[in-house]
């Protein structure tokens, strides 16, 4: 399926429960920074098996969706893409427009909070290992490596102002390499993002100019305005979206709940036991807050 967002074609897949006698509630799922929708298929299948339709999509500039420059995270544009996905779900003949739920991972976790804060018709929100600002210090990254990354961000920003092709850097690299995430577990992280067979829409490349607007992104402000129930799921040893920043989203939301799980940011993808428990808890949360069918 596809839909238009500000004139840009966005691609997605809609999972429907096998057994349904009336219009069903729908979870709209949002992936994280540089992610693609194929990494969310397993979550969508779990929600559909629990009686919830699930809509996954690619943001503009990524995966199967249109838009240029490619591999550029556009925060306002991604929020518009999410709003357009919600509008698509509400207009679908097999979905109950009054029972739309939002689910977001990492940067997508920030988007679902921000969009729901301005859309009171959204029923409930799940933010999984959500972005809430950059950590003050990235473990394992030296001052020199930080300066190299900042230089890449500024150079790519200048190129963007001049209308030039982005200066791309890897999303994931090994220690000492110029990359967004440079860790000893780089190979494992890449396998996480590509799948064991390496077949994926994801590309290990991003335009670093996106980090300047991300520095000004304040999902915590939206969390404080959120009227809907919010479940924040965090990892105890997360280095990408640390617990000390993410737990604030649950604390600020008037109806916020927090669940903490063992492992790291990537355990939510790679550890079957954690993934199973997280999705079980999230499904129960959604069902608990769903209003009766109209």
pLDDT tens digits for range 125-150: 999 999 999 876 666 667 888 899 99
State pTM to two decimals.
0.94
Q: What percent of the chain has pLDDT over 70?
A: 94
Of 4 and 136, more confident: 4
Predicted pLDDT at 195 = 63
Segment 69-92, tens digit of pLDDT: 999 999 999 999 999 999 999 999
Alpha-carbon distances of 131 from 67, 200, 214, 223, rounded to whole Å: 24, 23, 10, 12
Is the peptide bond preceding residue 160 cis, with omega within 30 degrees of 0?
Answer: no
Q: Which of 140, 219, 127 is nearest to 176 (CA)?
A: 140
Contact 77, 67 (CB under 8 A): yes
Going by their DSSP bridges, the two strands 256-261 and 230-235 should be labelled as parallel
Q: Is 4 helix (H, G, I), strand (E, B) or coil?
A: strand
Angle, in degrees to the nearest 10, between helices 272-289 and 41-49: 50
Q: In the predicted model, what is the mean pLDDT of the chain?
A: 92
Q: Alpha-carbon distance 82 to 130, whole Å?
A: 16
Angle, in degrees to the nearest 10, between helices 75-91 and 107-117: 60
Segment 236-280, tens digit of pLDDT: 988 888 888 999 999 999 999 999 999 888 888 878 899 999 999
Length of the chain measured in residues = 294
Instruction: Look at residue 6 and tell me whether its pLDDT is greater than 70.
Output: yes
């Amino acid at each position: 399926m596809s839909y238009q967002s500000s004139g840009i074609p966005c691609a997605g897949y809609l999972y429907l429960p096998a057994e349904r006698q009336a219009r069903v509630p729908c979870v709209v799922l949002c992936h994280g920074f540089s992610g693609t929708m194929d990494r969310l298929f397993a979550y969508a299948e779990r929600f559909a098996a629990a009686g919830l339709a699930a809509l996954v999509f690619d943001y503009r500039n990524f995966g199967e969706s249109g838009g240029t420059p490619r591999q550029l995270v556009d925060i306002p544009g991604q929020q518009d893409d999410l709003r357009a996905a919600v509008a698509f779900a509400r207009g679908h003949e097999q979905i109950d427009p009054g029972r739309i739920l939002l689910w977001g991972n990492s940067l997508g976790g920030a988007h679902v909070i921000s969009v729901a804060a301005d859309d009171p018709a959204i029923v409930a929100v799940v933010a999984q290992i959500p972005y809430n600002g950059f950590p003050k210090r990235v473990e394992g990254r030296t001052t020199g490596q930080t300066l190299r990354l900042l230089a890449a961000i500024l150079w790519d920003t200048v190129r963007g102002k001049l209308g030039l092709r982005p200066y791309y850097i890897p999303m994931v690299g090994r220690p000492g390499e110029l990359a967004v995430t440079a860790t000893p577990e780089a190979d494992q992280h890449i396998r996480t993002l590509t799948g064991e067979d390496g077949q994926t829409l994801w590309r290990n490349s991003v335009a670093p100019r996106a980090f300047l607007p991300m520095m000004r992104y304040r999902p915590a402000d939206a969390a404080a305005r959120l009227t809907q129930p919010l479940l924040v799921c965090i990892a105890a040893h997360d280095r990408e979206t640390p617990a000390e920043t993410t737990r604030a989203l649950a604390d600020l939301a008037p109806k916020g709940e927090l669940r903490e799980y063992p492992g790291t940011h990537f355990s939510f993808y790679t550890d079957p036991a954690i993934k199973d428990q997280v999705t079980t808890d999230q499904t129960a949360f959604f069902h608990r807050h769903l209003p009766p069918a109209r």
